[in-house]
Structure 1
Amino acid sequence: MDVQDVLRLTRTEHIRLVRFLYCDNGGIIRGKATHTSKLLERMVAGIGQSLAMQAFSGMEQLVPVEGMGPIGEFRLIPDPETFTLLPYVPATASMFCDMVRLDGVPWEACPRTFLKRMIARLAEHGIRAEAGVEHEFYLARRDIGQFTPADQSLCYSSAGLDEQADYINALLEALEQQGISIELYHTELGPAQQELSVSNAPVLQAADTICLVRETVRGVARTFNLYASFAPKPFLDQAGSGAHIHFSLWDKGQPHKNLFFDPEERGGFSQVGRYFVGGLLAHMRGLMALTCACPNSYQRVQPRSWSGAYNVYGYDNREAAVRIPSLFKGREVLSANIELKCSDHSGNPYLALGGMIAAGLDGIQKRLDPGAPLEMDPANYSNEERELLGIRRLPTSLDEALNALEQDAVLREALGPLLLKSYLAVKWSEQAYFQDKTPEEEALSHFSKY
């Protein structure tokens, strides 16, 4: 789709507003909307934003970052390929944007540009990436300032699907209208907890889709007088919600060659794939600052919760940080992938996926072998046994993950000085804000934030 296609669709569909959207360092989807009478010039020149917006935290606080104050602007330049009508609001469409300096050069603090840089690094090695996400979220109602689950459905229960059938149907219809390919839908472990899986896509499109799914899930919920939350642990006594990332690498010169597939290796998983996993494990502690990016995340990442609390990998081991799924008969090449468990929707998807590429590519280049896969739940070992086996607990708090990111030379270099500085400033601010809050206050705050 190009600019003329966008203009034609806005006319034929009688669109009045087009949202120029982006995901910020706090993991919040923000933006401005232009009236379609000004759409052409806005698509060329962009919409102005204060440089300070990349120093704006999820707590609506402006964090001190040099060069990101009240002076100066960047431009939101939309990608026409991301244009979509929004079925849940009248006469409105949206596009996702890059942050561009006034001289037309991509701004170094732009998360979407960061992912593009990592995609280009892969391309230098003749590789492209695909990703898809299992989206977990809760449906709730609000009463006197408190959220309560919208039903009491059980894990995978058909009764739960019946309970929310009208909402589910409207949601899937809205996603289909936006061109999102849906794989699976089911109720999850918590009451009124849902899981939606979408198909793999090229990694930039996958990141855009993550944001679009979040917007659509919540937007459709409002039409049913429901609240949808992607918060990692919105109810402290219930299961957490993840954003499990399924990831694969492909040969750019041979489009149907999955670099993670090798029929001669265990589970059909290649040595290249093992090196990629080795890179993820080597950088996982810092990577979690990008994939589990809020204080509430660490209420979810706990042993025996299927959230990947230990820095290990395994074949179909859902307690490992990285799972190698078993292949599907007749779809062996297509289904070879890895699943990152320690990931949720508080993470900016452009940063999370770009960070995965940087870490995994480092593993490929350095031939980092991940060692033997773990064949059991790591929590079943004693502390002494885990120590002997080298099984290490992943960060148990955001500050621990942020410290690891600051010490990770590969991730620091990939992000670049300005993006790293602004991201860390925002996240340290959020960590400090919740330092003296109770877990209940923290959960309530994150419920509507995500």
Structure 2
Amino acid sequence: MEIDDVVRLAKKEGVQLVEFLYVDNSGIARGKVTHVDHLKGRMISGIGLTPAMMAMNVFDHLQPIPEMTAVGEVRLMPDPESFRVLPYHPKVAAVMCDQISLNHEPWAACPRSFLKSIIRQAENMGITVRATYEDEFTLARLNEEGKHVPIDESLCFSAAGMVAGNPVILDIVSALKDQGIQPEQYYPELGFGQHELSISATDLLTAADNQVIFRETVKAIARQHGIIASFAPKPFVDQAGNGGHIHFSIWDKESSKNLFWDADDPLKLSEIGYQFAAGVLHHLKGLVALTCASVNSYRRLQPGSWSSAYAAFGKDNREAALRIASTFWGNEEKSMNIELKASDSTANPYLALGAMIASGLDGVKNKWHPGDYVDVDPGTLTDEERARLGIKKLPSSLLEALEALRTDSFFADTLGDLLFRSYTAVKKSEYDMFARHDVPFELNYHFAKY
């Protein structure tokens, strides 16, 4: 859509307020709001934002980054294509924004602009990317003691769990469809009160936008039902964690052919697919600092948790970080995709998707190969067997992941200096803050914020 199309649609739908949204380095959706009467002007000139906001951590503590202080301004510039009327928020719409410097160039710390740069990099290689998040979330209530308790204790995939979640899930599905997001599969998951809802794959930028919309929609609809929805990776220490798995495929820009598909390969994966997987695995120890982006993430990222604690790949191996997913019968080529399981919804999706795809493209450029695939749980292998197969354990804490991110110079080069420095500073500050508190504080804070 063009700007005038957005303005006409907003007025036709009775919109009064429009949220200009961005996602910060903590993975939190933030923004400013304009009245519809000023919408056209704001879409042309943007809304001012202090650079300091990208130095805020999840506690709203400003980190000491020289380029991100009270001095200066960037503009929130909306993407008309991302405009959505919010079905759960009367007379309100939202639009996703890039952060643009006053010289009219993308700001160096803008996550959405970073993802756009990776999309261009792929297109220069003749590649387009399709992706989607497969999100798990927990539905809970506050008890008399002010603690979060799951809405039920039904079993994994159980019909009883479907009944317990039915009213809120139906409204979530309806709200997503109203915003142009197509739900695909749903079921109650292993944890008490845990549910999984997948949506259709799209182009890479829309996939990141959809992840923001999805998270906000689920939380808002649950709130209307008197329920709290949380995407916290490990909301309860004794229950399964919430993943935000990324499914992705690469396509030939000219022929629209799925470049992952090879009918003659034992795993049905092409040579470029193996190269792409090798790039992700090669950089995965640092990459998880971006895809598993919170302190709480590493309670989930443990062996035996179906969350992929090892940098390995395999066909339908749900304990491997990269799972080559089985295709749909009758639609084999188009449905061929790879799933990154070492990912959750505390991540900024623009950074996570951008860094993951950049890692894969690095594997293609260098013609790397991932080695042998693994058809067992890597955690059941001995240290010697994993060493022989080149399987490395992923970081066990955010601090360890950040160190891997810093050690792998690929990420500083890929993200750029300011984005890299601001992200690592924010995340290190969050690690330090949670280290001063106990486990219940960590669980409750993540439950509420994510």
Amino acid at match of 1:350: Y
Taking the TM superposition and a 5 Å limit, the aligned residue runs for 1:36-435 are 36-143=36-143, 144-255=145-256, 257-435=257-435
Deviation at 1:153, TM superposition (A): 1.8
Q: Deviations over 1:274-306 (max 9, x none)?
A: 000000110001100100011100000010111
1:391 and 1:182 mapped to 2: Cα distance?
35
Q: Deviations over 1:85-125 (max 9, x none)?
A: 11111100000000001121110100000000000000111
Amino acid at match of 2:119: I
Deviation at 1:387, TM superposition (A): 3.2
On the 8 A contact 2:371/2:389 being kept in 1, the answer is no
Describe the SS at the equivalent of 1:93: strand
Describe the SS at the equivalent of 2:220: helix
2:70 and 2:133 mapped to 1: Cα distance?
37
Amino acid at match of 2:286: G
1:290 and 1:269 mapped to 2: Cα distance?
26
Describe the SS at the equivalent of 1:267: coil
Describe the SS at the equivalent of 1:430: helix
Who is 2:15 aligned against?
A: 15
On the 8 A contact 2:151/2:164 being kept in 1, the answer is no
Amino acid at match of 2:183: I
Q: Deviations over 1:188-228 (max 9, x none)?
A: 00111010101110000000000000010001011101110
1:41 and 1:235 mapped to 2: Cα distance?
46
1:167 and 1:345 mapped to 2: Cα distance?
20
TM-score, normalised relative to structure 2: 0.98
Describe the SS at the equivalent of 2:142: strand
2:343 and 2:102 mapped to 1: Cα distance?
34
Deviation at 1:164, TM superposition (A): 1.9
Describe the SS at the equivalent of 1:76: strand
1:314 and 1:164 mapped to 2: Cα distance?
33
On the 8 A contact 1:171/1:216 being kept in 2, the answer is yes
1:353 and 1:169 mapped to 2: Cα distance?
28
Deviation at 1:145, TM superposition (A): 2.7
On the 8 A contact 1:267/1:327 being kept in 2, the answer is no
1:389 and 1:40 mapped to 2: Cα distance?
57
Deviation at 1:382, TM superposition (A): 2.5
2:170 and 2:317 mapped to 1: Cα distance?
32
2:371 and 2:332 mapped to 1: Cα distance?
24
Q: Deviations over 1:153-175 (max 9, x none)?
A: 21111111111211111111100
1:386 and 1:264 mapped to 2: Cα distance?
28
Q: Does 1:447 align with 2:447?
A: yes
1:160 and 1:263 mapped to 2: Cα distance?
38
Amino acid at match of 2:434: F
Deviation at 1:232, TM superposition (A): 0.5
TM-score, normalised relative to structure 1: 0.98
Deviation at 1:311, TM superposition (A): 0.8
1:88 and 1:224 mapped to 2: Cα distance?
11
Deviation at 1:142, TM superposition (A): 1.3
Deviation at 1:440, TM superposition (A): 2.0
Describe the SS at the equivalent of 1:48: strand
On the 8 A contact 1:244/1:339 being kept in 2, the answer is yes
Describe the SS at the equivalent of 1:145: coil
2:166 and 2:381 mapped to 1: Cα distance?
42
1:278 and 1:385 mapped to 2: Cα distance?
19
Report sequence identity in percent: 50
On the 8 A contact 1:189/1:239 being kept in 2, the answer is yes
1:106 and 1:145 mapped to 2: Cα distance?
44
